[in-house]
């Protein structure tokens, strides 16, 4: 028991306790005289904190001391068998007692012996028998000093130990950090590689479908190709999702705010998921509060991403019923103009800020309350069995949460297990102070007063159609099944139109259509069939003659209005749409002749690139890698080099660096990177390597065309045309002779085609060829005059004033064989033709 306190003192764990260990003393008396021992025992009898041990045989003293670990040793100097001073020496050289205080007991004061004892390591000297108080004081004093020493040593050892641990964990941390850095680097390299690997074949898919869409296709084929393109785009979205997640995680996601149409955004997403919903017989529907402006400014790609995820999940986890998207406004504020934005037109055009509340409600499996908190955490699904059944990465909602927050809102869920879920999110969006609503939000005089019967079991769709119909001025009655509908018709109520669902609970829609036709009240009413968009297309079930028009679910209000007007043979108020797809400028190569080199190791990408360039009128040479690029440049001068970044043998970055080293700026082609790496910083890398521009794969026709338009003029600008100032944008009056146009308009049409239309078509077909001939004979006076004259004559009939003026000038130069100023005039002519063409097309379609 006696050694316990001391042991506790040296325990480093104890050492870290806030309180010092209990003070406890152990005295070892080594003396052959029992009387001395008894005297000491008596002196210490009342001292409860002092333990006492007696050893009469000096030869055993060391072993006993090792065992009991005294805090102080009282030791006689004259003993049989062992000399007292030798014993002191032994204690000092014994590891367990080397620091234990030794008080030497002597029969008399002898300075010599004292000096000797101290020299050998004794700490004190007392003459027998000492005074009780003095003895206790000395025992306490020495014990205390010894215990302090032990304590200090233990503390020191513990300190050393923790210092050592600190050094070790620091070293471990440094190496972990190093590994982490390596892993992060490997991760982003991996992402870049994957992005490249996936985007390369995607480039083929997107490029080829783009080309296919530019060929003559039947409506059905066009539909298929468009679906392929939509799917390819969706796949790209997923790839971007994965990249996005890592970008969001590292705080590198950048938003891209642009004006967009909210309805179009929702409809696109719903169309993407419509076939999946149709496969499961789910009703898809959406409602947007009419107060919300048609055009908003936000990051539509990110909004679409959230919607695809939430609606996708809703369809995935719902086996029957419906998925309904609803957009309401949670608030609108007029923003005050921040300092420095007083002249910011983008800001002034969109001064209002809206907080949109978007909900996606389903009637699916629902989510238990206790699992809802996990939903928005990354890589977590509600439970493993759900994942096995439905698949998924568990990343979607985590991305949605971050995106909603980035868009200025938040996301949350309400759900009842077994009954369905509603995911809500908010975003802020800017909007013009007032904007024109879409045509279908306005009352429609041509439909006013017409009576409409809606036969649809889905309450949401009934509500949507009723609300729209009533807004247009129609009187709407509804029936949730075939039986009720027939009962209504049997009452003799006459309807101007009937909308009926193809899939009713009690009756097949087509069979019902036949029955309606048999009723006197329904004999002549146009029937509009509401059907889900099946993946196989509606061709699977041909429409019977009784059906006038079919409408696809999810119902798009614009399409509903269109169908209704067609069914009732009334005029449709259409909105003028801007052209969606960039039109190919087949004339570009002629106006902007360029020598092109395309470097890509992938044969499909080469094919896509070459074909697109061909469509623009160019013939490009091909290189398979960086080395081939350098060889090609040694052989021939090029104006523009389209350079893939990841290629075998020599990659694009290295190739760009070498080109810049070997050829001075004016003598080398303009280098445009084409890369599948879409990570931040890639653009900088390319530009740093000496490239001039960057387009990311999949390369779209429009991107390529605008790159050529951007860089082509830099390369083709010749000294003799340098004085030509940029053509000012020309108004219609300067381009066209309005009186000639007005006269042409008045002329009677032949075969249903107006004179104006016919002449426009003829001119637009023939003029480009003439301009090409003018360009070819630019140095040949007589030929130039001949072709310019032909163009002038053609233009006179149509009143294309500016084109006529310029061809006349060219004709005069040609005749005078003074072709010096001809190239500049030709450039003006080309610009004038492009502008005139746009004007003519507008006129023609009016
Ligand atoms: P995943 O991409 O794997 O679907 P999400 O993050 O989008 O991942 O969803 C995580 C989990 O949340 C899903 O696996 C599912 O268990 C649950 N969940 C999400 N949406 C719904 C819903 N509408 N109904 C029921 N469960 C849902």
**From edge to edge, which strands make up the β-sheet containing 620-623?**
620-623, 596-599, 640-644, 670-675, 693-696
Measured in angstroms, how far is the CA atom of residue 293 from the centroid of ligand 1?
31
Of ligand 1's listed atoms, the one at least distance from the Cα of 360 is 23
Of ligand 1's listed atoms, the one at least distance from the Cα of 398 is 6
pLDDT of residue 604: 74
Average pLDDT, the chain: 81
Name the residue of 392, 413, 418, 420 to mutate for ligand 1: max ligand atoms within 8 A of Cβ.
392
Structure tokens at 792: 């002038």
The yes-or-no verdict on residue 123 having pLDDT over 80 is: yes
CA 519 → CA 475, 482, 484, 505, 604, distances in Å?
20, 13, 14, 21, 60
Average pLDDT of 654-669?
88
Q: Residue 139, exposed/middle/buried by CB under 10 A (0-12, 13-18, 19+)?
A: buried
Average pLDDT of 258-273?
87
Please tell me which of 250-264, 271-285, 559-573 the model is most confident about, judged by mean pLDDT.
Answer: 271-285
Residue 204 pLDDT level (bands cut at 50, 70, 90): confident
Protein residue with least CA distance to atom 4, ligand 1:
392
pLDDT of residue 716: 62
* SS3 category, 322: strand
Name the residue of 242, 277, 313 to mutate for ligand 1: max ligand atoms within 8 A of Cβ.
313
Share of the chain above pLDDT 70, in %: 82
Measured in angstroms, how far is the CA atom of residue 675 from the centroid of ligand 1?
34
Measured in angstroms, how far is the CA atom of residue 313 from the centroid of ligand 1?
6
pLDDT of residue 339: 64
Measured in angstroms, how far is the CA atom of residue 410 from the centroid of ligand 1?
17
Residue appearing with tokens 């019902």:
512
User: Higher-confidence residue: 564 or 732?
Assistant: 564
Mind giving me the DSSP string for 719-761?
A: GGGTTPPPPPPPPHHHHS-HHHHHHHHHSPPBTTB-HHHHHHH
Residues 800-841 pLDDT 10s? 888 988 998 898 888 888 778 888 889 889 888 988 888 888
Please tell me which of 120-134, 205-219, 509-523, 585-599 the model is most confident about, judged by mean pLDDT.
Answer: 120-134
Protein residue with least CA distance to atom 19, ligand 1:
313
Listed in sequence order, the DSSP H helices in 639-737 are: 652-662, 682-688, 701-716, 732-735
Of ligand 1's listed atoms, the one at least distance from the Cα of 380 is 10
Measured in angstroms, how far is the CA atom of residue 319 from the centroid of ligand 1?
14
Residue 778 pLDDT level (bands cut at 50, 70, 90): confident
* Nearest C-alpha neighbor of 609 from the set 235, 233, 203: 203
Measured in angstroms, how far is the CA atom of residue 251 from the centroid of ligand 1?
24
pLDDT of residue 152: 84
pLDDT of residue 569: 76
Residue 99 pLDDT level (bands cut at 50, 70, 90): very high
Of ligand 1's listed atoms, the one at least distance from the Cα of 397 is 6
Residues 203 and 608: their CA atoms lie apart, in Å, by 8
Residue 535 pLDDT level (bands cut at 50, 70, 90): very low
* Contact criterion met (CB below 8 Å) for 740 and 732: no
User: Higher-confidence residue: 844 or 146?
Assistant: 146
Of ligand 1's listed atoms, the one at least distance from the Cα of 393 is 3
Lowest-confidence range among 133-137, 343-347, 690-694?
343-347
Residue appearing with tokens 């590994």:
179
Residues 10-33 pLDDT 10s? 444 444 433 434 557 899 999 988
Residues 6 or more apart from 61 whose CB is under 8 A from it? 28, 30, 55, 73, 75, 82, 87, 91
Report the pocket of ligand 1 as residue ranges, CB < 6 Å: 309, 313-314, 317, 362, 364-367, 375, 381-382, 386-387, 392-397, 421
pLDDT of residue 58: 86
Protein residue with least CA distance to atom 20, ligand 1:
313
pLDDT of residue 310: 96
Residues 164-178 pLDDT 10s? 888 888 888 888 888
Name the residue of 280, 363, 381 to mutate for ligand 1: max ligand atoms within 8 A of Cβ.
381
- DSSP 8-state secondary structure symbol assigned to residue 128: S
Measured in angstroms, how far is the CA atom of residue 382 from the centroid of ligand 1?
7
Helix 652-662 vs helix 626-635: crossing angle, to nearest 10: 30
Of ligand 1's listed atoms, the one at least distance from the Cα of 364 is 24
Q: Residue 514, exposed/middle/buried by CB under 10 A (0-12, 13-18, 19+)?
A: exposed
The yes-or-no verdict on residue 658 having pLDDT over 80 is: yes
Q: Other C-beta atoms within 10 Å of 54: how many? A: 17
């Amino acid at each position: 028991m006696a050694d316990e306190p001391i042991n506790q003192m040296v325990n480093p764990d104890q050492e870290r306790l806030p309180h010092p260990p209990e003070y406890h003393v152990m005295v070892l008396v080594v003396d052959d005289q029992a009387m001395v021992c008894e005297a000491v025992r008596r002196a210490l009898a009342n001292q409860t904190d002092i333990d006492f041990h007696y050893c009469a045989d000096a030869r055993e003293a060391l072993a006993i001391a090792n065992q009991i670990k005294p805090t102080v040793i009282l030791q006689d100097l004259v003993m049989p068998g062992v000399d007292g001073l030798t014993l002191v020496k032994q204690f000092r050289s014994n590891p367990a007692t080397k620091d234990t205080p030794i008080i030497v007991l002597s029969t008399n004061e002898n300075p010599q012996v004292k000096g000797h004892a101290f020299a050998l390591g004794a700490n004190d000297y007392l003459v027998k028998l000492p005074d009780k108080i003095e003895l206790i004081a000395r025992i306490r004093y020495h014990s205390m000093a010894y215990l302090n020493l032990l304590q200090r040593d233990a503390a020191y050892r513990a300190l050393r130990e923790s210092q050592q641990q600190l050094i070790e964990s620091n070293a471990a941390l440094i190496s972990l950090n190093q590994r982490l850095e390596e892993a992060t680097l490997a991760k982003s390299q991996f992402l870049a590689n994957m992005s490249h690997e996936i985007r390369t074949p995607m480039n083929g898919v997107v490029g080829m479908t783009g080309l296919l869409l530019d060929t003559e296709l039947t409506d059905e084929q066009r539909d298929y190709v468009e679906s392929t393109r939509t799917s390819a785009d969706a796949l790209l979205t997923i790839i971007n999702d994965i990249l996005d997640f890592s970008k969001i995680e590292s705080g590198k996601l950048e938003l891209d705010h642009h004006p967009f149409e909210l309805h179009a955004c929702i409809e696109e997403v719903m169309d993407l998921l419509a076939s999946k919903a149709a496969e499961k017989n789910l009703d898809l529907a959406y409602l947007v509060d009419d107060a919300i402006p048609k055009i908003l400014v936000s990051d539509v790609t990110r909004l679409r991403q959230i919607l695809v995820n939430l609606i996708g999940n809703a369809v995935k986890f719902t086996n029957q019923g419906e998925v309904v998207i609803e957009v309401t406004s949670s608030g609108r504020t007029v923003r005050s103009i921040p300092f420095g934005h007083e002249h910011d037109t983008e800001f002034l055009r969109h001064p209002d800020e809206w907080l949109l509340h978007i909900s996606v409600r389903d009637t699916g499996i629902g989510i238990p309350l206790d699992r809802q908190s996990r939903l928005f955490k990354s890589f977590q699904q509600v439970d493993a069995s759900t994942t096995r059944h439905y698949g998924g990465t568990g990343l979607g909602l985590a991305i949605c949460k971050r995106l909603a927050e980035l868009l200025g809102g938040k996301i949350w869920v309400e759900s009842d297990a077994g009954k369905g879920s509603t995911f809500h999110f908010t975003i802020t969006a800017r909007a013009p102070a007032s904007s024109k609503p879409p045509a279908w939000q306005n009352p429609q005089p041509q439909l006013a007063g017409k009576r409409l019967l809606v036969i649809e079991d889905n309450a949401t769709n009934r509500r949507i159609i009723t609300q729209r119909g009533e807004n247009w001025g129609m009187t709407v009655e509804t029936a949730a099944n075939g039986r009720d509908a027939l009962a209504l018709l049997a009452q003799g109520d006459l309807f101007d139109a009937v909308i009926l669902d193809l899939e009713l609970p009690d009756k097949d829609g087509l069979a019902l259509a036949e029955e309606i036709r048999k009723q006197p009240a329904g004999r002549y009413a146009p029937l509009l069939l509401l059907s889900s968009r099946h993946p196989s297309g509606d061709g699977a079930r041909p429409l019977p003659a009784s059906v006038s028009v079919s409408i696809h679910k999810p119902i798009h209000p614009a399409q509903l209005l269109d169908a209704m007007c067609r069914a009732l043979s009334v005029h449709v108020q259409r909105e003028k749409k801007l052209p969606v797809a960039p039109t190919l400028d087949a004339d570009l190569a002629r106006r902007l002749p360029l020598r092109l080199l395309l470097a890509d190791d992938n044969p499909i990408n080469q094919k896509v690139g070459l074909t697109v360039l061909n469509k623009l009128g160019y013939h490009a040479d091909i290189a398979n890698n960086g080395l081939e690029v350098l060889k090609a440049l040694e052989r021939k001068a090029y104006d523009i080099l389209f350079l893939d970044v990841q290629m075998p043998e020599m990659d694009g970055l290295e190739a760009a660096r070498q080109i810049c080293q070997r050829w001075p700026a004016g003598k080398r082609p303009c280098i445009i990177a084409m890369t599948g790496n879409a990570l931040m910083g890639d653009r900088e890398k390319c530009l740093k390597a000496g490239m001039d521009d960057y387009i990311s794969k999949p390369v779209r026709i429009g991107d390529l065309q605008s790159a050529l338009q951007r860089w082509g003029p830099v390369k083709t600008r010749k000294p003799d045309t340098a004085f030509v100032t940029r053509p000012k944008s020309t108004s219609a009056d300067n381009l066209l002779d309005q009186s000639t146009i007005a006269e042409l308009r008045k002329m009677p049409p032949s075969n249903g085609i107006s004179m104006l239309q016919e002449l426009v078509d003829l001119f637009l077909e023939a003029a480009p060829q003439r301009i090409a001939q003018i360009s070819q004979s630019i140095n040949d006076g007589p030929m130039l005059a001949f072709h310019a004259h032909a163009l002038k004559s053609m233009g006179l009939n149509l009143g294309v004033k500016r084109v006529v003026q310029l061809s006349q000038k060219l004709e005069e130069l040609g005749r005078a064989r003074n072709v010096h100023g001809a190239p500049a005039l030709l450039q003006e002519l080309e610009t004038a033709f492009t502008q005139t063409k746009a004007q003519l097309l507008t006129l023609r379609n009016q």
